[in-house]
Copies of this chain bind each other. A is one copy, B any other.
Amino acid sequence: MPIDFRTDPARYRHWHLAVDGAIATLAMDVDPDASLFPDCALKLNSYDLGVDIELADVVQRLRFEHPAVRVVVLRSAKPGVFCAGANIRMLGQASHGHKVNFCKFTNETRLAIEEATAESGQIWLAALHASAAGGGYELALACDHIMLVVDRRAAVSLPEVPLLGVLPATGGLTRLTDKRRVRGDRADAFCTTEEGLRGARARDWGLVDEIVPPSRWEAAVAARAAALSERSDRPSDARGVLLPPLQRAITGDRIAYPHLDITLDRPGRAAHFLLHGPAGVPDLHAEGAASWPLAAARALDDAILHLRVNEPELGLWLFRTVGAPDAMLATDARLAADDWLAREIRLFWRRVFKRLDVSSRSLITLIEPGSCFAGMLAELVFAADRALANAAPIALSAANFGWFPMGNGLTRLATRFLGDALALAAAHAAIGRALPAEDADTLGLITEAVDPIDWDDTLRQLCEERASFSPDALSAMEANLRFAGPETMETRIFGRLSAWQNWVFQRPGAVGEAGALHRYGSGMKPVFDPERV
């Protein structure tokens, strides 16, 4: 059964959302019997990918459907636990590929929570009335402020190393040192203490922001939420945009979305994306979810997630567009407005492009006659590992110079021209002009302008060659080459931390028959190779 990333509140099994004016309360209440995996009881608010798919949906919906919400209070609906982290039986059963994809998606969701706080005026508050362990504490770490009740049991912990022989890799290690500035030796002590820390020490070490006695808990959470809401610039009187179920038709090897058609070439191990550009300038508020920028982003986002998890053998993604470049540039101009909805749509595309950056697929963009790689859609040229033009133009807009920073904090063009301010300035001076293939090549915006006579051969050769290479080596190479220049907490999470976790996820001490993930809960001790590598 393919995993479906589309969901909506009516179908949620694991979360309750309640909105009261500027304050939303999101309560985690994982249904133990609703795991994606057989025999994985999701006890104690432990989670699998299905739980996180709903969380990602909530994060998204809050931003579009609830413009008035300024603070999201993250709680647990279970009295004895906040969240026990990723389900261990699931980790023991899942394939290496599923585990890696699971971590990638959960990391993206936690980064979306931080982005909502930083960019969108929806500030997340973690209210831990009971223990948060492993991924449960990492979820709290993604919030702007962490409150912890003081009682004999409520603790925060990252027990992965002592208990499971794996890493806290949903950003936990990186956020400890870089976001919360926990001293390295303390972080080491914390991460090797199975039971974690509680009370004053948890606060003094910087693991939580605030500790509260049980008697004052509800009042303190409400007061903190009210105080945080003052920082938000969300509009109070705007009408939200409802996100209806996303239409998708899968017929054989074709996937049809609004504005996006995908053809799967299984023998060639390739997925061909054809994105239809906008027909005119959207009326964002009137059209809502049907407006091109929002509908196309939803389609592309779902397609990336669907193919990543359900079509792992299609290692090559080829991007084509069809449409009017001028309409795309005019749409960009509309999206530049100082308007909460325009901002949300820009941020949504930012997240979609970032998903591409961390997708372990070779990305090839094909600029063909009739295409509309202009402005926002030109980011598909710059996000690609290779971009070839067949005598067709591209065009730049302001969107390419600030709307869509990569995880490294730079735009794709700034990353492309790392340290070459002249090249970047020349590109900037070309904003708005149709740039024929040769000009785009001269400006360094594409990989190659191919002679139309050679187009088919060039393309065939490139695809065949790419499909013949080691998929693992390509994934590793792309994960390095795509991120030139500075690193940020975000790139460190996807680079250093995730790469190490992927390594550990192959080691016998973690995933072998006698490894910690399999032996957990069995009463048998895991067996480790004593050699340090």
Contacts and interface: CB of A to CB of B under 8 A. Distances in A.
Interface of A: 96-97, 100-101, 160-162, 164-167, 173-174, 176-178, 181, 183-189, 191-192, 269, 312-315, 360-361, 384-387, 415-420, 444, 446-447, 465-466, 469-487, 491-492, 495-497, 499-504, 506-507, 509-510, 516, 526, 528-533
Contact of A472 (B447, B469, B497, B510): B510
A496 B475 CA distance: 13
A531 B501 CA distance: 19
Contacts of A485: 177-178
Given A178-B418, A531-B471, A466 B192 contact: yes
A173 B500 contact: no
Contacts of A531: 97, 312-313, 471
A206 B465 CA distance: 24
A510 B161 CA distance: 28
A435 to B, nearest CB: 16
A173 B477 contact: yes
Nearest to A193: B465
Contact of A473 (B166, B475, B499): B166
Given A189-B447, A477-B167, A486-B487, A528 B418 contact: no
Nearest to A184: B481
A504 B475 CA distance: 9
A484 B446 CA distance: 35
Given A177-B484, A184-B385, A481-B173, A473 B509 contact: yes
Contacts of A187: 481
B500 A533 contact: no
Tallying the copies of this chain within the complex gives 2
Contacts of A97: 531-533
Given A385-B188, A496-B480, A183 B472 contact: no
A387 B184 CA distance: 11
A312 B419 CA distance: 41
Contacts of A417: 183
A185 B387 contact: yes
What 10 pairs between A and B have smallest CB-CB spacing?
A165-B470, A499-B499, A487-B487, A177-B484, A495-B496, A476-B500, A312-B531, A185-B447, A173-B480, A472-B507
Given A415-B184, A502-B533, A192 B471 contact: no
Given A101-B533, A161-B474, A161-B477, 12 more contacts: A183-B416, A185-B385, A185-B446, A188-B481, A189-B386, A312-B532, A314-B532, A470-B509, A471-B528, A471-B530, A472-B507, A499-B499
A101 B532 CA distance: 10
A19 to B, nearest CB: 35
